[in-house]
């Protein structure tokens, strides 16, 4: 292995270690987020509130787009990601309504 290839392998290993740490952060963050949305779903069910709040969802998507732009992340990806999470949350909320 040449010196350049060895250095590239070290840099690659560092990037992969960072990616692994960030994946863990994402998973634990999503876990924490869903704990709160589960509590919201139970609260909504207890007070006979609708499982979906389109006004808040639209505001959150706009907010996430802005955050994505500031973070140099594709805002379309961010919107798809949040829409996926919102759909999961609504599905959980609907289960509490039953």
Query: How far is the C-alpha of 36 from the C-alpha of 19, rounded, in Å?
Result: 26
Amino acid 6: pLDDT: 95
Query: How far is the C-alpha of 50 from the C-alpha of 79, rounded, in Å?
Result: 23
Model confidence over 10-48: pLDDT tens digits? 999 999 999 999 999 999 999 999 999 999 989 999 999
Model confidence over 55-76: pLDDT tens digits? 998 998 899 999 999 999 999 9
Q: What is the mean pLDDT of residues 1-8?
A: 92
Please give the backbone phi and psi of residue 59, each rounded to the nearest 5 degrees, phi first.
-65, -40
User: Which pLDDT band holds residue 51 (cuts at 50, 70, 90)?
Assistant: confident
């Amino acid at each position: 292995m040449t010196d350049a290839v060895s250095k590239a392998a070290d840099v690659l290993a560092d990037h992969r270690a960072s990616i692994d740490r960030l994946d863990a952060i994402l998973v634990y963050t999503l876990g924490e987020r869903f704990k709160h949305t589960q509590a919201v779903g139970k609260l909504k069910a207890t007070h006979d509130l609708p499982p979906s709040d389109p006004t808040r969802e639209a505001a959150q998507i706009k907010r996430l787009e802005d955050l994505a732009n500031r973070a140099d992340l594709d805002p379309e990806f961010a919107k798809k990601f949040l829409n996926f999470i919102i759909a999961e949350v609504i599905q959980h909320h609907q289960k509490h309504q039953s």
